[in-house]
Structure 1
Amino acid sequence: RASAISLFMLGVPVAAFLGSSIGGSIAASHGWRATFYVIGGIGLLVSILALLVMREPARQDVAIDAERMRLKDVFLILVRDRCMRHILIGVSVVSLGAFGINTFLPAFFARSFNLDVGQAGLAFGLLSGIASAIGTIAGGYGAEWLARRDARMLIAVPGIGAIVGAPIFIIGVMQKDLVPAFCLMLAGSLFFYMAMGPAIAALHGLLDSRSRATGSALFLLIMYLTGQGFGPPIAGLASDHLSAWAYGSANFAAQCAGAVGQVSGSACAQAGATGIRLAIACFGAFYIWSGLHLIWAARYRRV
């Protein structure tokens, strides 16, 4: 189940790579508005194609042995069971860190290494695409293989990976040269993407047939609300405050409005690069927090 879910989720890294690399190239030559038109148009065409070509497979006959559980009851199962509660918290923190980091990685590459829009988009696409593809597959198959001997490894492996990957990623973010920064960030990010497939598979194994679909929906809702709702704004606020600290003046926003990232070597540009670097490094530490929760979840899992 973990490997199947991981294969399904490969659509995310493929889309991240294509969207960032192609979108960055279009933005560099035709502007950001054209990027939205092109990428949005492609998405619309793919949606129509999927509607016309894809067919839902025939459903198997499943015996219904009990009434469907209410939403409230399924939610209480998620938060009361210690294993599921820690999985939910751990993956939500992973989502918080991922969305906070990924939202500002293109700007980080542009400010820190003087890349243009197309180059920054390509760097982000390569980093997120390669890391998420390899990490997702390795996490799914690796955790599933180890879980044959000990079911707790299905959750423990991603937790250990997050804790190992966090310092590698942070060291990469703090590098001043592009090549070592990219390589270390890539190595650290490989571990970050190991969690999703095994976590959802573990959740499916803990929920029964009456609550599995609703529980999965609640799980994903909480995870994405946490990540997309809080990750980018908190990371942005952290970047602004840390940039003002690096600039040495509380009037950073007023004095450097429109100047950050435009004049290489200026005080505003240097402060902006420092602020976003420190903010992303701080968000990298969220993965240690998430890893601890996943390890605790493995400890409480019923074998």
Structure 2
Amino acid sequence: VFWTSTAFGTAISLVLGGVIAANYGWRTAFFVAGAPGLILAILIILTVREPVRERDIGQDDQTPAPSLLQTMRFVCANPTVFHAFVGIGLASLAMSGVPVWAASFLVRTQGFTLPQAGLMAGLGVGLFGALGSFLGGPAGDAVVRRWGVQALPAAPMVACVLACVSGLIFALGSSLMVVALGFIVFEIVSRGFTAPAYAILVTGVEPRMRGVVVSAVQAVTNLVGYGVGPLVVGVVSDRVGGTNSLKVGIAAVMIFSLWSGLHFLAAWLAARRSERFVDGATA
């Protein structure tokens, strides 16, 4: 449920961004997009309180929480968590590269106007991205019920492979119908992987490490994923040049989705040998 918010936010930004950019310029669109974040930050400071943290068995309130360095050492020493951490970062490169360039892609390849492209891309992300985010959790739960906690990494692994295939269909499709189908499937599976992927992280670390681990992977997805993913598409597109350059750029970034799937495969194999995941499956 939490991850549906990112799909809705991206959808609103694409729709309104296209309209505002077409009428008032792209600089104004950026200013308008930043305003809700500032308002929300003030509301969080004024209204949200720190929750009571879960404690490990035998731990008292005076025990200091693990530091960032201790937590990251734990992550690196735990193959299941490490590969999930890296896999999430790599998947975010592809997950961010497609929707950021989707509107421009539709303008260049399908002859849409900027407002039309923003509306279509926004509806795709808002409807099907939110659907994927919502279904990701139940899909992960179904895997755990059927094969145990140690099989949980299989869910994001399959999602990343499907995201790679559907992303290529979106980028290289010969008709609007094929492009739309590829985009719909990509949004569902690329956002559906998040819930089971993050579940691997919180399952694989100690309770008092969970906040730091989730914060760290969020920093990676924002800085690397949303910072580098769209950049890779743009750089490849500029290097290739021509009318189909953006197709090649979007197709190129799909390698990160496949690479992410390999890390989740490694996480799956490691989880089968991990006491934490095997014991969780039988507890």
Contact 1:139–1:195 (CA<8 Å) still a contact in 2?
yes
Whole-angstrom CA distance in 2 between matches of 1:17 and 1:156: 28
CA offset at residue 26 of structure 1?
A: 2.4
- Of 10, 13, 17, 2:7 maps to 13
TM-score (norm: length of structure 2): 0.85
Q: Which residue of 2 aligns with 1:170?
A: 168
Q: Which residue of 1 aligns with 2:281?
A: none
CA offset at residue 77 of structure 1?
A: 1.3
* 1:114 and 2:114 are equivalent in the alignment: no
Alignment of 1:47-62 (within 5 A): 47-48=41-42, 54-56=47-49, 59=52
CA offset at residue 17 of structure 1?
A: 1.0
* Count of aligned residue pairs for this structure pair: 268
CA offset at residue 276 of structure 1?
A: 0.6
Q: Which residue of 1 aligns with 2:266?
A: 296
Alignment of 1:238-277 (within 5 A): 238-243=236-241, 271=242, 273-277=243-247
Q: For 1:147, what is the secondary structure of its paired residue? A: helix
- With 112-121 and 183-192 compared, the bigger mean Cα shift is at 183-192
Structure 2: segments with no counterpart, 5+ residues: 279-283
Q: Which residue of 2 aligns with 1:104?
A: 101
CA offset at residue 180 of structure 1?
A: 2.3
Q: Which residue of 1 aligns with 2:233?
A: 235
Q: Which residue of 1 aligns with 2:154?
A: 156
Give the partner amino acid of 1:32. W
Deviation track 1:187-222 (CA, whole Å, cap 9, x = no partner) reads 133111122121112211111123222222222223
- Of 76, 79, 84, 1:82 maps to 79
- With 117-126 and 163-172 compared, the bigger mean Cα shift is at 163-172
Whole-angstrom CA distance in 2 between matches of 1:25 and 1:126: 14
Deviation track 1:37-59 (CA, whole Å, cap 9, x = no partner) reads 4444454455555666x443763
Structure 1: segments with no counterpart, 5+ residues: 1-6, 244-270
Bigger radius of gyration among the two: 1
Contact 2:89–2:220 (CA<8 Å) still a contact in 1?
yes
Q: 1:77 to 1:174 in 2, by over 3 A?
A: same
- Of 213, 218, 232, 2:211 maps to 213
Indicate the structure with greater helix content.
2
- With 95-104 and 108-117 compared, the bigger mean Cα shift is at 95-104
Whole-angstrom CA distance in 2 between matches of 1:61 and 1:116: 52
Give the partner amino acid of 2:6. V
**Percent of aligned pairs with the same amino acid:** 25
Q: Which residue of 2 aligns with 1:181?
A: 179
Q: 1:188 to 1:102 in 2, by over 3 A?
A: closer
Whole-angstrom CA distance in 2 between matches of 1:192 and 1:74: 27
Q: For 1:282, what is the secondary structure of its paired residue? A: helix
Contact 1:170–1:185 (CA<8 Å) still a contact in 2?
no
TM-score (norm: length of structure 1): 0.80
Give the partner amino acid of 1:96. L
